[in-house]
Every structure is written in structure tokens, then in C-alpha cells.
Chains A and B, each alone.
Chain A
Amino acid sequence: MKLKVLEGHLGEISGFTKPKVEYEQYETPSHIAAVALYTMQTQFEALESKLVLDAGCGPGMLSCGASLLGAGTVTAVDIDGESLDILKENIEFTEVDNIDIIQCNFLCPEMYRCENYFDTVVMNPPFGTKNNAGIDMKFLKMGLDLSCDSVYSLHKSTTRSHIQKRIKEWGVKGSVIAELRYNLKSSFKFHKQHSKDIAVDLWRLHHS
């Protein structure tokens, strides 16, 4: 599938109807999702015929995209039931058939039953800016524990040196494989500007 076609499909996917601030529900823009997924597949063959996990999937932009790019199965996990209802609609709309949804807390210890199970873990984790500092790193670490190959994750570029430090501590390898711009529409009341451009890195972490 060509990048433009993928982006076209993802552009028609519904987002959060009422984003919840406690979960930092920022949508993954379709352009970012398309470029990120396309890079994973074309450069690293990380999606086609792979066992994929989308951690904190929300309405499923990454899940649907991964499935469209030929994933073997996608397990989509989120704590918020309303987002998963939208994902369900998006799955029907996109006509993909191999996304398995589970409502649960991705950071709960029971997730360790899936240790090293997934080939590829994709995520656009909460940035950890609203009273839950560090949650992005917890997502990343859990993603690593559940994958036997690699984790692809979106992070604000301002956190780059911090992530580099953590990667060293964890004893894994990682690098930024794409630099993207995230046009964040003001989705919450406390946002003063109408929209804001944020530099975002697509990281690839893998077990050495």
C-alpha cells in the first residue's frame, strides 16, 4: 500500500468524541500515523505478518494503520471504554478484520503474562505532562518487556536526551528513526492557543 493511500484511509478515521484530560487523550494525527507506520514497515519490516500490540490505542489510528499494512494480528489495549467503542466503529469502517480489542490498564502487572510475546509494539503514549509525569517512560518500559523484537513510540523531541539516558539504563538499543511535526489542535479548555506545532520523534527501541 502506498503512503498516500494509507494516509487517505487513516484520514477518515474518527477521533475521540470527548477527550479525557486524565488520560491525556491527544489524537495521533493521520499524517503522523501514516508516516510512522510506513517507516516501520518499509525500513524494518515490522508490521507485515507480525504479532503487533498497540498500547494505549485510543480510537485506534495506529491499530487500523498496522492492520492495513498487513499485520498478522493487532492487539489493541486501552483503559478507556468509550475510546474502544469508537475503535470498534473505525474497524468496521476501515474493513479490517484482525484487530483484537482488550479493555485493560496497560501498566497493570498482569500484562507481564505477555512478556516477550509480541513481535512489534507500537504506541503513542501519554506525554506525561498533566499530573502524571513519567507515564511515557512507564509505557515505553512495559512495551519493551512485552516485545521480543522492537518498540516504536512517539515522543516530544524535547525529551530526547532523557530517553537516551533511560535506554542506556535499560540496556537496550534505540534511535530516532523519523522527526515529525505534530499539529496539536486545542482539544482541552486549558489550551490557550488554537493550535500548536510540536516537534515529535519516532523512536525505535530494540533488544540488543
Chain B
Amino acid sequence: MLTSKCLRGVVTGYPLAINATIINITEVDYNPEFITRIIPKLDWEVLWRAADSIGHSDGLPQTIEPKFEENNEFLKKVHRVLLEVDIEEGNLVCPESGRRFPISKGIPNMLLTEAEVQ
């Protein structure tokens, strides 16, 4: 799920760059009401660039249109990129330090070593 892997990077440096070696697509139940409600919470530009960097921005507009909530096709695309595209193996890379956070079995490890925590 891209939801938390890139949008609100839970680590130093934002947004994190994504290096994906294995991407999985898993089908998730489509809930348009939920998608409509979370879109305003997202940093759209960051999401678009993240999706684009892993080759999944097809048909996704670079800016959100007004009345997006009425555009079911758009909501379905957001649903797909947010919930169905999953990075199974890869890295999240901090843009400032270059520090890599490994993603293994779909789980990003954001723990810093004691030396990194000042």
C-alpha cells in the first residue's frame, strides 16, 4: 500500500524516494466514500510523483480536478494506486541524507540506529 509508504513519510526527509524491486498488485475492496474522504488529506503532488516513479501514474492527473468526487473513474484510479499497488521489496531513500530504509516482505523498516538518533 502506498498510503503511508510515501505520502506522509514517517521518517527524516520528505518526500522519500522509492526504489522498488518487486511490486505486487493485490485486489482490495473498492470503497468510493472512503477514497473521496481521504483525497483532501493527501499531498497530491507527492503521491503523483511517487506513483510515477514506480510506473503507476497511468491516467492519474497531475492535479486534482474540482468535483473529483463525482468522477468514479478517477476515484477508482486513486483506489488502485493507494491501496492495491504494494511494494514488496525495495527501499525508501531519504532525499537529504541518502539513507536507505529497506522494504522487506512489504514492511518498510524505519528504525534509526542509536547513532542516528541524536
| A interface residues with partner B (beta carbon < 8 Å) | 49-51, 72-73, 75, 79, 81, 84-85, 88, 97-98, 100-105, 108, 110-111, 113-114, 117
Query: Do B3 and A100 have beta carbons less than 8 Å apart?
Result: yes
- A-B pair count, CB < 8 Å, reads 74
A-B contact pairs, 9 of them (CB 8 A): A72-B38, A73-B3, A73-B34, A79-B111, A88-B105, A100-B4, A104-B10, A104-B11, A110-B110
Bits for B92-118, please: 1 = Cβ < 8 Å to A, else 0. 000000000000011111111000010
Q: A97-B27, A98-B28 are in contact. List 11 more A-B contacts (CB 8 A).
A: A49-B34, A88-B105, A98-B83, A102-B108, A103-B107, A104-B10, A104-B109, A111-B10, A113-B9, A114-B8, A117-B8
Top 5 closest pairs, chain A to chain B, by CB? A72-B34, A104-B110, A100-B1, A103-B109, A49-B34
Contact between B3 and A108 (Cβ–Cβ < 8 Å)? no
- Bound-state CA distance A103–B27 (Å) is 23
Distance in Å: Cβ of A58 to nearest Cβ of chain B: 14
Q: Assess whether B33 is in contact with A117, with CB atoms less than 8 Å apart.
A: no
Bound Cα distance A108, B10 (Å): 9
* Majority SS at the chain A contact face: mixed
Instruction: Give me the interface of B with A, judged by CB distance under 8 Å.
Output: 1, 3-5, 8-12, 14, 26-29, 31, 33-34, 37-38, 41, 83, 105-112, 117
CB-defined contacts of A85 to chain B, threshold 8 Å? 105
